[in-house]
Amino acid sequence: GSCWHRCCPGRNNACWALGPHRPRCYCDSYCERTGDCCKDYHAACRHAAVGCVVGSWGPWSGCSSPCGVGSKARSRQVTVPPRHGGEPCPDLKQRRGCLGEHPTCGMAK
């Protein structure tokens, strides 16, 4: 089976060719995980793959609750998006718990 002009990013069950030893071989980037790529997949499809690149994490936000349990968040940006079946982007947002300790919290009754 040949992937020439049939390369597809991600998981695409419609992206296949007739295989010499199996009924079908695949030309989508997911075939590397499942092991059912066509014999020329790497030569035809992977030569131009670009994996995702992300920047550094930004600072944590302030606590969402001035008094008591809340959450903080931070994010980062994609600097190079994935192309041609390259590695997908990792998480771009994170959240964690926090405890608001504003000076007025202890004065509330």
Within a domain: 78: yes
Q: How sure is the predictor about 3, in pLDDT bands with cuts at 50, 70 and 90?
A: confident
Tell me: the pLDDT tens digits for 78-107? 998 887 667 889 999 999 999 988 888 876
Could you tell me the residue range of the domain that residue 17 belongs to?
A: 1-48
pLDDT at 69 (0 to 100): 92
| Model pTM above 0.75 | no
On whether both 26 and 1 belong to a single domain, the answer is yes
CATH number of the domain that residue 68 is part of: 2.20.100.10
Interior/surface letters 93-108, b for 16+ CB within 10 angstroms, e for the rest: eeeeebeeeeeeeeee
On whether both 79 and 40 belong to a single domain, the answer is no
On whether both 4 and 44 belong to a single domain, the answer is yes
State yes or no: pLDDT of 109 exceeds 50: no
Tell me: the pLDDT tens digits for 25-41? 889 888 988 988 888 88
Q: Residue 29's closest CA among 81, 83, 91?
A: 83
Within a domain: 72: yes
State yes or no: pLDDT of 66 exceeds 80: yes
pLDDT at 47 (0 to 100): 63
Total of domains in the chain: 2
On whether both 38 and 72 belong to a single domain, the answer is no
**Mean pLDDT for the chain?**
85
pLDDT at 10 (0 to 100): 82
